[in-house]
Structure 1
Amino acid sequence: MLYTLIGGVAHHALHLTDAFWLTAAARWEESDPLERSRILLLSEKGDAPAMITRLRRFGALPRSVAAREAATLLVQRWHPQLLVISPWSSAMGAWCKDLCSRAEGMNLPILAIGPGENESMAMMALDGGADAYLTQPVSDTLLLAQISALLKRNNHWEQVVAGQMEILQVNPRTHRVWVRGQEIRLSRRLFRLLHYLALHPDQTFSARHIASLLS
């Protein structure tokens, strides 16, 4: 199955326009990762206004919600590039795990901000699906650095729709794949590999590189 998919991607990728991908890559690499990035802030304790002001000052396009249900809907419809949970609480763990298990939340980086009296809160956040944890109060310098790192790690190619519907299309936002108009279902790892290969036609990769994509 894997070799069939890879072979199909290699064949159909020849029909993609190399210039389009080179232009897109250049545009993304030259830009500030925070510039106009969609950042969703979940704040159940009314801390949103101050954080929203800080994010806008960084050049981002933030939106805030006070309820987990509203955050889930925005992840599905608005497709944020980063989720910030502030403040983090132990009640967030189950919801965060559920969000990360869904197609729309699988590749969404999550930054948790919470109290730093002990390590247990940070461990709960990281175990619950957060990619990073910052303790309050957090300086603008550290907040900016951490957000930038998460946005860069969430590579821009993961947000780009690959291919053409009549031949092959891989849509990372909906986690759906079509081959000659017929939808196929893949595991998260196979989807990620197929998507990456479709965006990099006529290239070969080492076993270590492929392993890093599947990790």
Structure 2
Amino acid sequence: MTEVMILVVEDEAAISTLIQFTLEQAGFVVQCVPSVEAAQPLLQARLADVLLLDWMLPGLSGLDFIRQLRNDIRSRDLPIILLTARGEETDKEQGLNLGADDYITKPFSPRELIARINALLRRRAPQKTSVPLRIYGLELDPQQQRVQVNGQTIPFGPSEFKLLHFFMTHPDRIYTRSQLLDLVWGDHVFVEERTVDVHIRRLRRGLETVGHDHLIQTVRGSGYRFSP
């Protein structure tokens, strides 16, 4: 599975420790902080793949932080799960209306937490999951890091594999170089946009060996698209 970085903002040390252990056992990369103020510089340095955010925090509350994140173009699509002991329907509605993607009431089981995170990733960032894909004659296995056509394996480097994984989970849509850099490499990686062109060429060369290079299309003046 592609590395998934989860930022946990939780001020109760026992809960934070349990969450970190649970998620690391499931294969996630985890950072835990006790406040919004501690989380902000981490998100500035690298946008997490998922944010687990406690509602009641010292200083700025979780709800106020969601407002900030959704008003920032860089973090407006950040997947957020709200953690809270408040189980009333009106509380849940308030959190979701402000922009949380999901809501988990304490206490929760480790299995439920992992299931919710995986469900959110499938919905919002399918290229970060380990679900095998089959589309347009290509078969991609994220766990084995393998791409095949009719049983023939196509060797790809890590960057080309990640790029193809992203395209296969987002077919028929046009992405600019800048968008591909942020969505595939991460907004914390600072490389020139032309680097995308290099990896696109390598990806096409690999697909050309099985007659599928036409799937990666250049849309003049816009970017790239994965489509038959």
Q: Shorter chain as normaliser: what TM range?
A: 0.5 to 0.7
CA shift in 2, pair 1:43/1:179, >3 Å = closer
Alignment of 1:175-190 (within 5 A): none
1:198 aligns with 2:168: no
Q: Deviations over 1:96-130 (max 9, x none)?
A: 11112213212210011212441222122212221
Task: Give the equivalent residue in structure 2 for 1:103.
Answer: 73
- CA separation of 1:199/1:145 partners in 2, compared to 1, >3 Å: closer, same or farther? farther
CA shift at 1:152, angstroms? 1.7
Counterpart residue number, 1:64: 32
Deviation at residue 78 of structure 1 after TM alignment: 2.2
Aligned counterpart in structure 1 of residue 4 of structure 2, from 37, 40, 48: 37
- Is contact 1:89–1:121 with CA below 8 Å preserved after alignment? no
Aligned to 1:154: 124
Cα displacement (A) at 1:45: 3.1
Corresponding position: 1:52 with 2:20? yes
Tell me, which stretches of 5 or more residues in structure 2 are unaligned?
129-161, 167-175, 195-218
Partners of 1:72 and 1:99 within 8 A in 2: no
**How many equivalent residue pairs?**
148
Relative to its length, the structure with more helix (as a share) is: 1
Q: Which residue, out of 112, 121, 125, partners 2:82?
A: 112
What value does the CA root-mean-square deviation take over the aligned residues?
A: 3.3
CA offsets 1:121-146 (integer angstroms, 9 cap, x no match)? 21222122210001111112221111
Structure 2 length-normalised TM: 0.55
With normalisation by structure 1, the TM-score equals: 0.58
Q: Which residue of 1 aligns with 2:64?
A: 94
Which structure exhibits the higher relative contact order, with contacts defined as CA atoms closer than 8 Å and separated by 6 or more residues? 1
- Counting aligned pairs with the same residue, the percent is 23
Letter in 2 for 1:60: F
Runs of 5+ unmatched residues, structure 1: 1-30, 163-167, 181-193, 205-215
The one-letter code sitting in structure 1 at the alignment partner of 2:22 is: R
* 2:180 is the counterpart of 1:169: no
Q: 1:122–1:133: 8 Å Cα contact kept in structure 2?
A: yes
Name 2:45's counterpart in structure 1: 77
